[in-house]
Structure 1
Amino acid sequence: SGAEKPNYEQLQSKLEQVNNENERLKVRCNEQQAQIDELETANKALNKNCANYDDEIQRLKQDNRRLKQEAQQYNQKIVHLSDEIPKHKEEIQRIKQDNRRLTQEAQKYDQERQSLNDKIQRLEQEIERLKRPSASSSGRTKLSFVASSESPRIPVATFAMTTRISIQIMLISSNFGLQI
């Protein structure tokens, strides 16, 4: 008899070992299946995120193209406006010169107006002085009178002075474009 036959107990022990190993492998298989299920769920979520990211990438690419076009338009506008800057600077200089010239003219006219106002005031004072009756008419030159249809008799000196003042006022007003 060469080989020994395993006995029942040995077979029972072997069967128990195999069953234990089978149970251990089932548990391990279940654990790995649960892990596979988790990984598949995570994979689905990642694929969904990836699709969302792909959509976002496409949207960002479109935005990028649009922004590049806008930037190009703004750059063209900047170049165009940069070309206009010297023209505007020249215009500003011309306007400043005109402003200085007009300011000087205005000052000159103000001085002339003030001088004419002073002259008018002196002439009005002279008129008032001439209108007043003379204190001593007996020893002085007698004034002759001119007849006028609009007014009573006016001394010739007063009439001449009034005429001269009227002419000066008309000249002054014509210098300033006034109509009397």
Structure 2
Amino acid sequence: MSQISANEGPKLEQIDLTNLNLQQLTQLKQNLDQELGVFQDSLQALKIAQNKFQESGTSLGKINPRAKGKEILVPLTSSMYVTGKLANTETVIVDIGTGYYAEKDIQGAKDYFTRRVNYVTEQMEKIQQIGLEKSRIREAIREVMEMKMQEQRAAMKESSEHS
């Protein structure tokens, strides 16, 4: 596999790796390593979001008419809570992003979180596919780099034998 294809948007670019010198291959591999790091960070952030949506959906299962008036912990910050009483078991306020909130009935909120989990999962699968392709390309670059280094060592050995 000495040729790679990079599909960034509508254009398809093929590069014959054997035509690149060692420095160009090294730079290409470093760029791929950086991209793979970004993909890993993105996957981690999406996994955290996925877990939060799943937890929110699960928490909704605990709200029922019998829970009305029961004490709950209300988060003020990520690490500070106050006690409160559950006054409404029919509807909840859902954070739908960027400072917007929506009032939904329990089933509507569950459906919302299910859709969000599915969407995040799809995005994670897309990123994983791109990451796998980038890893294959990085491996092909590594193989060509190894081949070129062996050729250089052989050339150096041959030139030292003729001297």
Report if TM-score (shorter chain) is over 0.5: no
Q: Which has the higher contact order (CA 8 A, sep 6+)?
A: 2
Q: Which of these two proteins has the greater Rg computed from alpha carbons?
A: 1
Q: TM-score range by the shorter chain?
A: 0.3 to 0.5
